[in-house]
């Protein structure tokens, strides 16, 4: 008798799983019809369905904010590199004879250096402001409540050039399999970078108060650079 009950349970579980896959494939098929270049070549390879919990990594808002944060961070790094280059120029122009030409070039490099520091700090503040939004949103997500279904969908379709291509998309689908909450290509570098940035943010910043203190410090640096720029 116990064996029969177990077999029935396994059968029902498999039926439920297959039913969810069928539901997922149906709504994804509609999505592909709207988005694929050559829908007629579309062929499902594999679909997996897992429970989607309310965690930051399954929350479109947190992922989108992380993508924005990543752009500000990269921009800040670019300005920092430019400032380092400007500092090298300062050393060059100050190490030789102090002529009128070298003096002129020195102050040009000095102004560029301060400007890059200021712009980089402004980008850092924008990054930290976005970090704050992520932390506040993450605080409302406990990772235990089901908010839908996490679907990985591998398929074949023809490219613009007519070549068959294999792709995998991730879909966030609501509990009733009626709406796609969000979707992205698993090979999308921007999404990969956003998820990596989200991981770094959640592991590096323990509180909104900490981020606020960093923002205040950076605003002080901007004030100082503006004062020096005003004296040039």
Rounded distance between C-alpha atoms, residue 49 and residue 173, angstroms: 10
Count of positions (residues) in the chain: 232
User: Please, what sign has the CA dihedral across residues 139, 142, 147, 152?
Assistant: positive
Quote the pLDDT of residue 41: 96
Nearest-angstrom CA–CA distance, 175 and 162: 36
Question: What pLDDT is attached to residue 126?
Answer: 98
pLDDT of residue 18: 64
- Of 178, 148, 152, nearest to 23 (Cα)? 178
The residue extents of the domains of the chain are 1-232
What pLDDT does residue 99 have?
86
Residues of the chain with pLDDT under 70: 1-18, 96
Give the per-residue pLDDT at 97.
Answer: 73
Q: Give the Cβ contact number of residue 65 at 10 Å.
A: 25
Question: What would the pLDDT profile of 120-144 be if each residue is shown by its tens digit?
Answer: 999 999 999 999 999 999 999 999 9
Q: How far is residue 74's CA from residue 78's CA, in Å, rounded to a whole number?
A: 6
């Amino acid at each position: 008798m116990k064996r029969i009950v177990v077999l029935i349970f396994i059968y029902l579980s498999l039926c439920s799983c297959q039913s969810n896959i069928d539901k997922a494939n149906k709504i994804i098929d509609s999505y592909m019809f709207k988005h694929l270049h050559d829908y007629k070549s579309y062929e499902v390879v594999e679909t997996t369905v897992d429970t989607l919990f309310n965690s930051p990594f399954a929350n479109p808002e947190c992922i989108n904010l992380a993508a924005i944060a990543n752009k500000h961070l990269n921009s800040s790094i670019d300005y920092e590199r430019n400032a380092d280059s400007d500092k090298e120029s300062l050393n060059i122009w100050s190490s030789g004879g102090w002529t009128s030409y070298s003096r002129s070039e020195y102050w040009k490099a000095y102004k560029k250096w301060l400007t890059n520091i200021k712009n980089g700090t402004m980008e850092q503040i924008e990054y930290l402001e976005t970090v704050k939004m992520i932390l506040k949103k993450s605080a409302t997500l406990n990772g235990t409540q089901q908010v839908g279904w996490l679907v990985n969908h591998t398929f074949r379709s023809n490219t613009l050039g007519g070549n068959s291509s294999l792709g995998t998309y991730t879909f966030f689908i609501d509990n009733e399999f009626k709406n796609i909450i969000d979707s992205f290509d698993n090979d999308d570098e921007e999404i990969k970078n956003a998820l990596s940035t989200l991981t770094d943010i959640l592991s590096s910043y323990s509180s909104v108060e900490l981020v606020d203190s960093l923002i205040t410090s950076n605003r002080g640096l901007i004030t100082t650079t503006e004062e020096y720029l005003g004296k040039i």
